[in-house]
Amino acid sequence: MISGSKPTVVGIADMKMAQNGGKLITYALGSCIGLCFYDPRLKLAALLHIMLPLNMETGRKNPLKYADSGIRETLRAMEAKGALRSRIVVKAAGGAKMFDVGGKGSLGNIGQRNIESVRMVLKKEGLRLIAEDVGGSVARTLLFDSDTGMATVQSYGKPHMTI
């Protein structure tokens, strides 16, 4: 993919990679979290869109849906392309609380639980989380540039932010 071309779309519970100027985008992160992985030496970028904190499914058909299995799966894919764990840096955006729901149940806390799980799993895997824009109550669209390793966060009614 050449620089300036249309970004590759990363869906929900999905991960895509780009290299040497290719761009990646994931839309409307609410309680979900978008994770930008970058190996600056190779200019190799991966964007992961997770929905839930921990994979407790028996079948494990969809590892990219969860923070723990999604991060490991992304690492595996990057390492297969020659990336080194010691060089990889990570940026995260999302984990918002879209509705203020009272009553029983953990519905409103999914975003916060995702944030905590992401931080914990990254630490356990020895990856550096160098920037984040998480929490709050607004949705975020996340654009990631493999040329610079910069990520842009766009929210409704707010100026763009680069992390």
Binding residues for another protein, rule: CB under 8 A, are: 11-14, 27-32, 51-52, 56-57, 61-62, 65, 96, 98-105, 107, 110, 137-139, 141, 156-157
Give the phi and the psi of residue 43 in degrees, each rounded to 5.
Answer: 50, 45
Alpha-helical (H) ranges within the chain are 67-80, 110-124
| Angle at the Cα of 123 from the Cα atoms of 148 and 147, rounded to 5 degrees | 10
- Based on the residue annotation, tell me whether 36 is a catalytic residue of this protein: no
Beta-carbon contacts of 56 under 8 Å, excluding residues fewer than 6 positions away, are: none
Q: At closest approach, how far in Å is the CB of 67 from another protein? A: 12
Q: Which of 18, 24, 25, 32 is catalytic?
A: 32
Query: How is residue 94 annotated by DSSP?
Result: E
Is 107 or 161 the residue whose CB approaches another protein more closely? 107
Is 13 or 42 the residue whose CB approaches another protein more closely? 13
Is 131 or 138 the residue whose CB approaches another protein more closely? 138
Catalytic residues: 32
